[in-house]
Amino acid sequence: MCHNTTSKTIKELHDAIRRPVPIHNGQRRRRKTCWVDNMWNNEETFDDGDSFRRVKQRFSDKTKKVAETKEKTKEILSKQAVKIAKQAEEHERFITKVTHLCGVLGFGTFCFLLGARPQDISYVYCLFFVTFVPLRWIYYRFMKWHYYLLDFCYYANTIFLVMLLLFPRNEKFFMVCFSFAEGPLAWALIVWRCSLVFSSLDKLVSVLIHLLPGIVFFTIRWWDPATFEAMHPEGNAGRRASWPYAEGKSYLWTWLFVVPLVAYTLWQILYFLIVNVLRRQRLLRDPEVMTSYRELSKKAQKANNVWWRLSGLLGDQNRMLMYILLQAAFTVATMALTVPIFLSYKMHVIFQVLKVCAAIWNGGSFLLEVMPRQVILKEKKKLEMKPIPTQLDSPVLEKNITENGNMAEGQIEINNLAEAGTEINNLGEVPESEQPCTNNSNGL
């Protein structure tokens, strides 16, 4: 009995071991889900690798396209820049030719009127002043040079305009204007090397601002029919022998020297108050704004000439004062010379010829010496803007340097270019003494 029970137990255990363990539906579902998840994860990993490669390839393609677009854009812009530069040069040459043509024709017309109708020269001068000075103010305002229009030459020309239009027969006013025109303005034309260049409107206007007033008052003094009749009376001994009539030396020095010097002093005070007091902070904030003192001191310092040394006699802090004193001495000397010029027709004619010859000579020096150097400077700038591709960027030179490890040839090329650039630079430097004046009649 006991043996049968044991055998039965052993058989049940054996059957239980051989029988598979039943799996409930929930467990089977979970196992299937886990297997599917594992397969999905494997596929997802595989897909992620392919996606990464595809994205990388896409970014690589876009990068290449961007680089190609950038190169094409650079090439297009470079071509357009070259085209625009050529058009600008052609336009500049055309404007220069037109300016030269108009300048020569205008100067010839003026000379004709000077001989045919000298009494109308004053009206020609007034038309010139009211036309070109406002245009110059617009241009100088854009260039930050508008403080030049506070110079003595514009102050004096404004007084000339008032005298010619409102007080044409006021003898004392005429003598004051004569002193201005044939004094500081006329000598500034010679001392500051103003150039008669017909192809440059700015230089032409600068010369005429200093030259025309003297010619106008010369014609009124000696060639105007009304004054000529007063100077050469016929059959009337009671008529005065000249116009304006000088009663004596004291009268002459009073209205040709003392009164003009007082008017000049008034201008100097107003100029100092406006430029060095009222507009001082504006000038300090913007060093690009130019005044006559800034320009002249900069040129004198660079050239280290006698004017720079004289202005430093009282120390660097008093250079402005020294410039004012030197300018005052220049004005006193030139106004004193107007007295003998006023009294002598021959001396006045010689002085007119001297002024015109000085302006023409300086214009020739500018055309033959300064302009070629300016052309060389332009060419140098073009070379700097467009580097020569046969330097270190040259494939032959790169191959030579890379394969042989020797930069001798490249160094030779660089040295040659450096020497050429130095030579161009030396030729392109224009000495300050050779630069013609623009509006430097008011100071030293």
Tens of pLDDT along 325-375?
Answer: 888 999 999 999 999 999 999 999 999 999 999 999 999 999 998 888 888
Is the four-CA dihedral 389, 390, 393, 399 of positive or negative sign?
positive
Mean pLDDT of the region 45-72: 69
How sure is the predictor about 174, in pLDDT bands with cuts at 50, 70 and 90?
A: very high
Distance of CA 39 to the CA centre of its chain: 76
Secondary element (H or E) of residue 397: helix 395-404
How sure is the predictor about 18, in pLDDT bands with cuts at 50, 70 and 90?
A: low
Please name which of 232, 262, 113, 245 lies closest in space to residue 174, comparing C-alpha atoms.
245
Please name which of 98, 247, 284, 96 lies closest in space to residue 172, comparing C-alpha atoms.
247
Residue 88's pLDDT is what?
Answer: 79
* 238 pLDDT above the threshold of 60: no
Which residue's entry shows tokens 């470079």?
A: 78
Mean pLDDT of the region 241-256: 78
Which residue's entry shows tokens 């004017």?
A: 307
Rounded to whole angstroms, how far apart are CA atoms 74 and 250? 76
Bond before 244 cis per omega within 30 degrees: yes
Instruction: Tokens for 100, please give them.
Output: 């030269």
Secondary element (H or E) of residue 23: none
Are 158 and 186 in contact, with CB atoms under 8 Å apart? Answer: no
Secondary element (H or E) of residue 219: none
Please name which of 154, 178, 210, 201 lies closest in space to residue 358, comparing C-alpha atoms.
210
Instruction: Tokens for 390, please give them.
Output: 């046969």
How sure is the predictor about 416, in pLDDT bands with cuts at 50, 70 and 90?
A: very low
Mean pLDDT taken over the chain: 76
Mean pLDDT of the region 78-89: 77
Please name which of 314, 335, 340, 329 lies closest in space to residue 263, comparing C-alpha atoms.
335
**pLDDT-wise least confident of 73-82, 89-98, 250-259, 378-387:** 378-387
Range with top average pLDDT, 81-90, 243-252, 330-339, 375-384: 330-339
Residue 296's pLDDT is what?
Answer: 76
pLDDT digits over 297-320, tens only? 777 777 777 777 777 777 777 888
Buried (b) or exposed (e) across 145-184, using 16+ Cβ within 10 A? bbbbebbbbbbbbebbbebbeeeeeeeebbbbbbbbbbbb
Mean pLDDT of the region 366-385: 82
Residue 399's pLDDT is what?
Answer: 45
| ∠ CA 5-8-14, rounded to 5° | 145
* 129 pLDDT above the threshold of 50: yes
How sure is the predictor about 7, in pLDDT bands with cuts at 50, 70 and 90?
A: low
Count of alpha carbons within 13 Å of 21, Cβ hemisphere only? 4
Are 264 and 334 in contact, with CB atoms under 8 Å apart? Answer: no
Secondary element (H or E) of residue 365: helix 345-365
Which residue's entry shows tokens 């002193």?
A: 179
Q: Regarding predicted confidence, which is higher, 144 or 429?
A: 144
**pLDDT-wise least confident of 111-115, 116-120, 204-208, 397-401:** 397-401
Which residue's entry shows tokens 């409930």?
A: 24
Residue 20's pLDDT is what?
Answer: 53
